[in-house]
């Protein structure tokens, strides 16, 4: 293994830069030349490769986003796109590739293998924390801390005005961000895709809060739930319960930016180094992860098969603490 490439793909996440840095520096440590592929699978098809040295990744561990850019690339999901990408990798004499991203990235990396035998190793990096094969994905810790900081501010104004807020958070079709941040902010309720929205119970919680003179209520709503998002839930609730003055906040892409937390920097560093080690050890089509503080390897097809399950004990906490 003399020349390896690294790319970032899908939605960016805080800690992507720290992972790139770890791959580049660990490649150099192992005597391997590292190339960055600019703009993910798009850059792979277009031959957009840049040589990366130790200095090029200085001062990026603390930066959000990704210095080598990212895309969602429908063009890659075709036979022609994949054959083109394989041709470009071969032209650059790339012996192995490190894919930094989430389930879409690993799904595409697995599909690609039927057209190209160059080994791929994945580094889990998405705010959604929805992959099997790692306790946490890079970016998740920063994202939930961003949500907590934002909702703490909302709580101040909600409390001053005696208002009910519905706060919508990201996560695609996973409720991990919503669940963990709801505990962190002391939300009155959380609605996630993994459990059916019990409207009656929600109304009961609100009514109980009103009766014991709660001055504010925060309901965290995961964007992907069958409830249809924060605006829809707020509308439905208002038709049955209109005592609180109600507002809706959609936090949106603020959750994807910002300087990564220390935990995300450390995950990114450990996983980036583990990915280089995996390629050097001859591993392929696997995602590196950390489970119980140990580095583990999970075949792409298993990592993407099902979401990281929700811990029912955590879900119960919000209910217990808001009662």
Catalytic residue IDs:
128
Tokens representing 275?
A: 């990915």
**Residue 127 near ligand F6P by CB under 6 A:** yes
Strand partners, 51: 35
**Residue 128 near ligand F6P by CB under 6 A:** yes
CB neighbours of 210 closer than 8 A, spacing ≥ 6? 243, 244
Q: Closer to ligand F6P at the Cβ: 96 or 225?
A: 225
Identify whether the C-beta of residue 74 lies closer than 8 Å to the C-beta of residue 31. Answer: no
**Spatial separation of the C-alpha atoms in residues 52 and 200, rounded to whole Å:** 56
One of 39, 170, 206, 217 touching ligand F6P (CB under 6 A): 170
**Spatial separation of the C-alpha atoms in residues 314 and 117, rounded to whole Å:** 42
Distances (CA, A) of 98 to 5, 6, 8, 214: 6, 5, 9, 51
Tell me the closest approach of the beta carbon of residue 201 to ligand F6P, in angstroms: 26
Q: For ligand F6P, how many residues bind (rule: CB under 6 A)?
A: 11
Q: Closer to ligand F6P at the Cβ: 42 or 223?
A: 223
Identify whether the C-beta of residue 64 lies closer than 8 Å to the C-beta of residue 94. Answer: no
Place of tokens 């941040």: 181
Closest by Cα among 257, 236, 240 to 166: 236
Per DSSP, 307 falls in state: P
Closest by Cα among 289, 290, 285, 288 to 300: 285
One of 43, 171, 193, 225 touching ligand F6P (CB under 6 A): 171
**Residue 126 near ligand F6P by CB under 6 A:** yes
Contacting range for ligand F6P; rule: CB under 6 A; set: 114-122, 164-172, 183-191, 315-323:
164-172
**Spatial separation of the C-alpha atoms in residues 81 and 57, rounded to whole Å:** 29
**Beta pairing class for 189-191 and 217-222:** parallel
Contacting range for ligand F6P; rule: CB under 6 A; set: 35-43, 83-91, 165-173, 273-281:
165-173
Torsion, Cα of 189, 191, 192, 198 (10° steps): 110
Q: Closer to ligand F6P at the Cβ: 36 or 102?
A: 102
**Contact positions with ligand F6P (CB under 6 A) in 204-263:** 223, 256
Q: Closer to ligand F6P at the Cβ: 168 or 188?
A: 168
Tell me the closest approach of the beta carbon of residue 242 to ligand F6P, in angstroms: 30
Identify whether the C-beta of residue 255 lies closer than 8 Å to the C-beta of residue 127. Answer: yes
Contacting range for ligand F6P; rule: CB under 6 A; set: 120-128, 146-154, 239-247, 281-289:
120-128
**Residue 81 near ligand F6P by CB under 6 A:** no
Identify whether the C-beta of residue 121 lies closer than 8 Å to the C-beta of residue 278. Answer: yes
**Residue 102 near ligand F6P by CB under 6 A:** yes
**Residue 154 near ligand F6P by CB under 6 A:** no
Tell me the closest approach of the beta carbon of residue 253 to ligand F6P, in angstroms: 6
Contacting range for ligand F6P; rule: CB under 6 A; set: 43-51, 62-70, 125-133, 298-306:
125-133
Tell me the closest approach of the beta carbon of residue 182 to ligand F6P, in angstroms: 16
**Beta pairing class for 3-8 and 120-124:** unpaired
**Beta pairing class for 217-222 and 163-169:** parallel
Identify whether the C-beta of residue 178 lies closer than 8 Å to the C-beta of residue 213. Answer: no
One of 25, 69, 155, 172 touching ligand F6P (CB under 6 A): 172
One of 9, 11, 101, 222 touching ligand F6P (CB under 6 A): 11
Q: Closer to ligand F6P at the Cβ: 133 or 171?
A: 171
Question: Binding residues for ligand F6P, per CB under 6 A?
Answer: 11, 72, 102, 126-128, 170-172, 223, 256
């Amino acid at each position: 293994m003399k020349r390896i490439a690294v790319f970032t793909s899908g939605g960016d996440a805080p800690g992507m830069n720290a992972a790139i840095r770890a791959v580049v520096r660990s490649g150099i440590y192992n005597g391997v030349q590292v190339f960055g592929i600019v703009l993910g699978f798009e850059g792979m098809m277009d031959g957009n490769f840049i040589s990366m040295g130790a200095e090029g990744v200085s001062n990026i561990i603390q930066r959000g986003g990704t210095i080598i850019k990212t895309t969602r690339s429908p063009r890659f999901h075709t036979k022609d796109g994949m054959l083109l990408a394989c041709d470009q990798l071969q032209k650059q004499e790339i012996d192995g590739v490190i894919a930094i991203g989430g389930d879409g990235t690993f799904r595409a990396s697995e599909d690609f293998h039927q057209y190209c035998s160059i080994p791929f190793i994945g580094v889990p990096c998405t705010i959604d924390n929805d992959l099997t094969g790692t306790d946490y994905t890079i970016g998740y810790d920063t994202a939930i801390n961003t949500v907590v900081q934002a909702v703490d501010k909302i709580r101040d104004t909600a409390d001053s005005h005696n208002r009910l807020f519905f706060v919508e958070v990201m996560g695609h079709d996973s409720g991990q961000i919503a669940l963990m941040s709801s505990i962190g902010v002391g939300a009155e309720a959380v609605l996630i895709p993994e459990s059916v929205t019990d409207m009656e119970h929600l109304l009961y919680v609100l009514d109980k809060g009103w009766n014991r003179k709660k001055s504010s209520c925060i309901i965290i709503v995961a964007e992907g739930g069958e409830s249809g998002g924060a605006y829809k839930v707020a509308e439905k609730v208002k038709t049955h319960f209109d005592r609180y003055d109600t507002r809706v906040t959609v936090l949106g892409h603020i959750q994807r930016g910002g300087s990564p937390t220390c935990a995300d920097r450390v995950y990114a560093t450990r996983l980036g180094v583990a990915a280089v080690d995996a390629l050097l050890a001859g591993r392929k089509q696997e995602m590196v992860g950390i489970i119980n503080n140990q580095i583990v390897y999970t075949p792409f097809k298993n990592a993407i098969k099902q979401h990281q399950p929700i811990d029912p004990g955590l879900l119960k906490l919000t209910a217990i603490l808001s009662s």
